[in-house]
A and B are shown apart, each in its own frame.
Chain A
Amino acid sequence: MRAIFSLLVIAVILIALPAMVGNEFYVNLASQVLIYALLAMSLNILVGLGGMVSLGHAAYLGVAAYTDAWLVTNAGVDTLSAAFLAIAVTTAMAALFGLLALRAAGLGFVMITLALAQILWGLGYRWADLTGGDNGIRLASRPVPFGIDLASPTHFYYFALVICSLAFVCLWRLAYSPFGASLRGARDQPRRMRMLGHHVWMVRWIAFIMAGFWGSIAGLLFIYYNQFIHPHSLSLQQSAEALLMVILGGANTFLGPIVGALIITLVKNVASSYVDRWNSLLGLIFVVVVLFMPQGIVPGLKFRWTQFTRRGRKVFVAAPAPPSP
């Protein structure tokens, strides 16, 4: 009941946001947060539910954005077909990359996803005939679905909000579906899952493809918002930012990635108006989070909240795991 109430409050705030802040700058900032929240949520299918750390998630955002921009700008395809084609191409690529990355587990998986994404980044820079190289590709205008012109920041915000809410509901259902349960099972007890007759590899592969699919939706929002795509969006830095959002917020929670996306996007925008050392700051946040907040912010706050509401009662805290020798 309380959860539903909180959700309602959040929904009202989100809907009223453009009217509340008034300023276009903040509405645009909110749209960016939504786009990155979707990207982080899609990555969290792998990292949180599946326990597979991917360092190449920018690939899906970038490829979807590039495909869409290229189709519309260079091939003259209409907006809707281009969007569907971009999603299809990106999801197919995720299926292929998943086949490769799932040849290894753990650190091998990290390295393969990273290498694959870096190869795409190299292509983005070098294959100038296709991608425009360092010039990127420009999208002439934002689409006009059902006669609503997304060029207005407020319209775009609501468009992104609708898409992200849809994604939120789908991913929520996914997380608590039997499939989500078997994905968590594959994360925690792959052997037992195999014993119980689950096809662990297949479960992981499907999760990989789903992550790619939702990543491509984030990519479409990204290209509509920026109307521009550059190899930077395929870079390791972009993948790392997405992963940082997930880890910072808390990978094992559903809301964590959204909170992470909110914080990172805000910090990035605020920081970049004061200092131009965003990369150092990003690296520093990485180090600090891993060293001092390995579970992320949401579980940390939850813990504090439980402590606060149960004041007086004794709270048993699990001892930190002894450092392995």
Chain B
Amino acid sequence: MQFWLIQTLNSVAFGGLLFLLSSGFSLIFGLMRIPNLAHGAVFMLGAYFGATFIELGINFWIAALLSGLGVGVLGLLLERLILRRLAGNEQGQVLVTLGISFIVADVCLMVWTGDPIPLPAPAALRAPIFVAGFAFPTYRLAVLAVALVIAAGLYLLIERTRLGAMIRAGVDDMEMARGVGIPISKLYMLVFLLGTALAGIGGTLGGPILNADPGLDSQMLPLALVVVILGGIGSLVGALVGSLIVGFLYNFGTALVPDLAYFVLFFPMVLVLVLMPQGLFGRVPQ
């Protein structure tokens, strides 16, 4: 019983992390039609930034925000300096983000070496909470709470604000949106900043669970892809539901059949692709 409860909680918390990773990916893809293959590397960079900030004695949560900001600024530069020059060239954008991810991963390896760097959870959250006789890891509950708050914030931002309405308009029909005077170019910058910053924050928050190590990018990127394939491109709800599904499958897969953890992801993906290729909540027709 304890096992199942704990694993369920772990799955949901991991799903929360995946949401931080994939919501940014999905937003960027939805608005800009760029599958940012550097997103896994950005997540890893966030974890390393976080580790460094914490080592400097900065408070954990502030470190997470700072690394989100740092990574977001790098994302902004990437968009402005490189991706902007390739507007309309989807294939080129895919390849460039892939190239960037290799460079980022290699630089991380150079700066932080190949040894995994464990990130300490905030001191206040290290002791487990006891509920009805079961011990729950407090930190994971906190991660889940943060992810939910961010999800709610994003939802309000996208669905309830003027800015969100502009983004939605851009996702649905970019030309018309531009035609009616929506500053698409600024939106691109903003969404890229936001999307990469979310991944950066996710990287730091994931640090105490996953460690910052050189394989983190190639571990997380396929998960983000599967989340987006499952949930549908450009849909926030899709990213949330997809993250939870993948979180459960991956976590239970790792716990029960560690050899086949990735394989477990294969079947839901096949099922969704066969039955509804646009994803569970996909709005953009492929």
Tell me the A residues contacting B by CB distance below 8 Å.
Answer: 53, 55, 100, 103-108, 110-112, 114-116, 118-119, 121-123, 126-130, 235-237, 240, 243-244, 247, 277, 279-280, 282-287, 289-291, 294, 323-325
Contact = CB atoms under 8 A, between A and B. Distances in A.
Contacts, number: 138
Contacts of A289: 95
B270 A283 contact: no
B99 A110 contact: no
Contacts of A121: 218, 262
A235 to B, nearest CB: 7
B87 A324 contact: yes
B89 interface: yes
18 contacts: A55-B37, A55-B98, A106-B90, A108-B277, A112-B229, A112-B273, A115-B222, A115-B226, A115-B229, A121-B262, A126-B262, A127-B263, A236-B218, A279-B106, A280-B103, A286-B99, A287-B100, A291-B85
Nearest to A241: B102
Nearest to B226: A115
Given A104-B286, A112-B273, A291-B82, A283 B259 contact: no
Interface string B196-230: 00000000000000000000001001100110110
A105 B286 contact: yes
A103 B274 CA distance: 7
Given A287-B100, A324-B88, A126 B260 contact: yes
Majority SS of interface residues in chain B?
helix
Interface in B71-95: 82, 85-92, 94-95
B226 A283 contact: no
Contacts of B221: 118, 236
Given A126-B260, A280-B107, A286-B96, 6 more contacts: A55-B37, A107-B90, A121-B262, A247-B95, A282-B99, A291-B96
Contacts of A325: 87, 178
A178 to B, nearest CB: 27
A111 B260 contact: no
B261 interface: yes
Contact of B35 (A105, A111, A287): A111
A280 B102 contact: yes
Given A100-B270, A103-B274, A122-B261, A283 B101 contact: yes
A74 to B, nearest CB: 16
A100 B273 contact: yes
Contacts of A323: 85, 87-88
Interface of B: 29, 33, 35, 37, 82, 85-92, 94-96, 98-103, 105-107, 109-110, 178, 218, 221-222, 225-226, 228-229, 233, 258-263, 265-266, 269-270, 273-274, 277, 286
Contacts of B90: 106-107
Contacts of B102: 237, 240, 279-280, 282-283, 286
A78 B96 CA distance: 44
Most A Cβ at <10 Å: residue of B37, B103, B269: B103
Contacts of A110: 35, 94
B218 A294 contact: no
Given A103-B277, A107-B90, A287 B82 contact: yes
Given A236-B218, A282-B102, A128 B88 contact: no
B270 A286 contact: no
A91 B102 CA distance: 29
Contacts of B95: 243-244, 247, 286, 289-290
A55 B218 CA distance: 14
A118 B250 CA distance: 14
B258 A126 contact: yes
Nearest to B266: A119
Closest 8 CB pairs of A and B: A286-B99, A122-B262, A324-B88, A283-B102, A118-B222, A283-B103, A279-B106, A283-B99
